[in-house]
């Protein structure tokens, strides 16, 4: 049984590995994510590596082993199911749910989790559109592109928001830029460095490219609507 501390390290590690496509996560980065000093992270990571959940390469970073990944995904499953549960069943504010789930994810039993899963109808995504790993520890996150990549005049539906901070989520909510919302790109001039998006039945919202990149959408690109990013 991993302690809640270790569960946290594993979860952050997994999340970070997604960003950096499986590369070794540097100590400093992990320390910042977990909220400890670099020295503490080094010590903990060595212990985690010793128990076979991660591979530690001194001065290079850490990477989860298969076992570590599985454990991380179970934590993530608990987290995301709880988030959805808090929002859907308990009516907790979208922007607060993340923080609440952060605590609960380490104490909820399999029994309670199964009941929550059932009550929610075995959902596949949480309130931010993040995929919920299966109980077997599988996640499928479809390749999506962002609001920033769409041309003026495109229509899409927001499916996922890549920022869990309550400030950003509050902004997204009041703007109407929430998962399942239909939006029209009113302006996207790459020279301007900002876009204007109008959610259905709401006034248009101005977004920096950085902010726009946090909204993942579908359909991703109909012919000629996509603005290339790379490759």
Partner DNA sequence: TAAAAAAGTTTGAGTACTCAAAGTATTAAA
Partner DNA sequence: TTTAATACTTTGAGTACTCAAACTTTTTTA
CB atoms within 10 A of CB 5: 15
Length of the chain counted residue by residue: 231
Nearest to 27 by CA among 88, 12, 110: 12
Choice between 9 and 85, CB closer to DNA:
9
Task: Pick one of 12, 13, 61, 80: the residue that binds DNA (CB under 7 A).
Answer: 61
By CB under 7 A, residue 68 contacts DNA = no
Residue 146 φ then ψ, to 5°: -105, 170
108 binds, among DNA, a copy of itself, none (CB under 5 to 8 A by kind): a copy of itself
Using the rule CB under 7 A, is 52 a contact of DNA? no
Residue with smaller CB distance to DNA, 31 or 82: 31
Tell which positions 115-174 bind a copy of itself, by CB under 8 A.
115-116, 119
Stretch that binds a copy of itself, among 105-113, 126-134, 138-146, 168-176 (CB under 8 A): 105-113
Q: Is the dihedral of CA 53, 56, 60, 61 positive or negative?
A: positive
φ, ψ dihedrals at 89, nearest 5° = -90, -40
104, interface contact from a copy of itself, DNA, none, CB < 5-8 Å by kind: a copy of itself
Report how far residue 85's alpha carbon sits from residue 121's, in angstroms, rounded to the nearest whole number.
11
Binding to DNA, residues 17-46 (CB under 7 A) = 26-29, 34-46
Q: Quote the tokens at residue 112.
A: 């309670």
Q: Give the footprint of DNA on this chain (CB under 7 A).
A: 3-6, 26-29, 34-47, 56, 58-59, 61
């Amino acid at each position: 049984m991993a302690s809640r501390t270790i569960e946290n390290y594993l979860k952050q590690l997994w999340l970070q590995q997604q960003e950096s496509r499986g590369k070794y996560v540097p100590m400093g980065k992990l320390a910042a994510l977990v909220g400890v000093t670099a020295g503490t992270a080094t010590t903990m990571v060595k212990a985690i590596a010793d128990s076979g959940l991660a591979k530690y390469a001194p001065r290079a970073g850490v990477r989860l082993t298969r076992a570590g990944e599985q454990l991380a995904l179970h934590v993530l499953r608990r987290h995301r199911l709880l988030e959805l549960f808090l929002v859907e069943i308990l009516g907790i504010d979208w922007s607060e749910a993340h923080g609440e789930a952060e605590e609960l994810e380490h104490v909820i039993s399999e029994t309670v989790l199964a009941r929550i899963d059932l009550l929610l109808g075995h959902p596949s995504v949480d309130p931010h559109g993040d995929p919920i790993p299966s109980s077997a520890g599988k996640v499928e996150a479809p390749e999506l592109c962002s609001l920033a990549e769409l041309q003026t005049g495109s229509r899409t539906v927001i499916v996922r928001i890549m920022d869990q901070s309550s400030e950003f989520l509050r902004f997204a909510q009041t703007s109407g830029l929430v998962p399942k919302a239909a939006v029209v790109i009113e302006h996207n001039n790459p020279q301007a460095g900002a876009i204007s998006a109008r959610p259905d039945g709401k006034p248009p919202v101005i977004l920096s490219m950085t902010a726009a990149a946090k909204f993942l959408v579908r359909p991703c690109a109909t012919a000629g609507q996509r603005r290339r990013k790379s490759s």
